[in-house]
Structure 1
Amino acid sequence: MTIPEIVLASASPRRAALLDQIRLRFRMCPSALGDDGEAQLAGEQAEAYARRLALAKASEVAAVVKQGLVIGADTVVTCDERLFGKPRDRAEAQAFLLSLAGRTHQVITGVAVVEAATGRAEVDAAVTGVTMRPFDAEEAALYVATGEPMDKAGAYGIQERGALLVEGIQGDYFNVVGLPLALLAALLRRFGVEPWSMEAAR
């Protein structure tokens, strides 16, 4: 069987690093939508929103590349039905962090794989609970000053110094980073692609 080209419809260095980690052969072709590319629809649940955006990103790139399997992903953070995207500025980043301090929130990543030649799509989502320890505005400001929160949903990166704010997680760690790898592998297998057979250096 010919192994199809894998295309990542994202510019995220974290998602690319995760695919490199599992030795998946792929190329990047970022979607023009980017993160927070479409507004949440009235009454739309966070998981449905993440799935919809992931599919929109993958479908957009699939229409351009014409061949291969296109991976789209969208990560959102939600707490008490409030959605936390990427902060617009440092003040909003600090406000996000203080809203999450001492509480458990959910990180949801929608993942879509689209077969470019046919338009066939497989979509799913992973949900991970993340509990942050209590911290004050001074500590939140110290973290915001690092610049790390500015390009991340929820204004923190668990794989970087944001780990210092996290007390524990329930679920897939890689989902919190931005791409649930076990879920992605399951979606690829629906297209007859075995990730174990795709090892190659990019």
Structure 2
Amino acid sequence: MNDGARLILASASPRRHELLAQIYPVFEVMPAEVEEQEDPTTAPRVMVAHNAAIKAAWVAERQPDAFVLGADTTVFIGNRVLNKPANAAEARAMLRELSGRTHTVFTGLVLTCAASGLTLSDYVTSEVTFKPLSEALIEAYLAKVHTLDKAGGYSIQEHGEMIVAARRGSLSNIIGLPLDETKQLLESAGLPCVSGSN
């Protein structure tokens, strides 16, 4: 157990902040100022692992005595990744592509501490099946949910019942931070967590 250990979340995502607080209530937030890899032809597991690692490393370099958690999430369908849409037109195009199909959500996790030389990593996948989406339903959904900061152009926890038919695997992974695996990483590093999962 690391008494007095500091944990920093290397992300500005309010969803990751809310999820992490469920299992580790006291932590700091320092968004990493890095350029994420977003090549749509890159293998999703490689992309999320790379992005999580560079986020964690950027913060750890500036806060070497702290434990730093980096995470990255993307959507994969039809042999390509769907990152955050650049605008509303791109969000509409993503929802059309996801309509009536099953896609995979990948999240990469990295926990590092520069002072101790510790680095732990993991990745998680979940599957989401969309309902067939009409143009009217797409417009109704986008009128309710701000999707430009969300991989795949949607948010399962915000009016997900409008667009999602089924899911398999971790819900928290689809939202952006898989809690079971995050808890395992933290506890492996001697950072005790409170209850909370999936």
Same fold, TM-score > 0.5, yes or no: yes
Partner residue, 2:27: 26
User: What are the Cα deviations for residues 3-43 of structure 1, in whole angstroms up to 9, with x where unaligned?
Assistant: 41110000000000112223431010001127xx224396x
Match of 2:68 in 1: 70
Question: Between Structure 1 and Structure 2, how many residues are aligned?
Answer: 194
Q: Which residue of 1 aligns with 2:154?
A: 156
C-alpha distance in 2, partners of 1:20/1:196?
9
For 2:39, the aligned partner's letter is: Q
- Could you tell me whether the CA contact under 8 Å between 2:110 and 2:122 is conserved in 1? yes
Q: Structure 2 matches for 1:141-152, cutoff 5 A?
A: 141-152=139-150
Structure 2 vs 1, CA of residues 41 and 166 (structure 1 numbering), >3 Å: closer, same or farther?
A: closer
Q: Tell me whether 1:175 sits opposite 2:173 in the alignment.
A: yes
Q: Distance in 1 between matches of 2:185 and 2:93?
A: 36
> CA-to-partner distance for each residue in 1:84-143, whole Å, 9 max, x for gaps?
000011011000001001110000110110113134211111000000111111211222
Q: Could you say which residue in structure 2 is the equivalent of 1:79? A: 77
Distance 1:115 1:5 in 2: 10
Which residues of 2 match residues 93-132 of structure 1 at below 5 A? Answer: 93-132=91-130
Distance of aligned partners of 1:166 and 1:147 in 2 relative to their CA distance in 1, 3 Å threshold: closer
Are the structure 2 counterparts of residues 57 and 178 from structure 1 closer, same or farther at C-alpha, using a change threshold of 3 Å? same
Where in structure 1 do 4 or more consecutive aligned residues deviate above 3 Å? Answer: 39-42
Q: Secondary structure at the match of 1:195?
A: coil
C-alpha separation in 2, matches of 1:163 and 1:101: 14
Give unpaired runs (5+ residues) of structure 2.
Answer: none
Aligned to 2:10: 9
Relative to structure 1, the CA distance from residue 195 to residue 165 in structure 2 (aligned partners, 3 Å threshold; closer, same or farther) is: same
What is the root-mean-square deviation of aligned Cα atoms in Å?
1.8
SS at match of 1:141: helix
The SS at the match of 1:123 is strand
Match of 1:46 in 2: 44
How far does the alpha carbon of each residue in 1:26-75 deviate from its partner, in whole angstroms, 9 at most, with x for none?
A: 010001127xx224396x42112101110110011000112121000000
Separation in 1, partners of 2:190, 2:23: 18
Cα separation, 2, equivalents of 1:158 and 1:74: 17
**How far, CA to CA, are the matches of 1:101 and 1:66 in structure 2?**
44
Distance 1:108 1:131, change over 3 A: same
SS of residue in 2 equivalent to 1:150: coil
Amino acid across the alignment from 2:193: P
- Among the aligned pairs, what percent are the same residue? 37
Q: Please name the residue that 1:200 is paired with.
A: none
Provide closer, same or farther for how the CA distance between residues 116 and 142 of structure 1 changes in structure 2, counting only shifts above 3 A: same
Q: What amino acid is aligned across from residue 158 of structure 1 in structure 2?
A: I
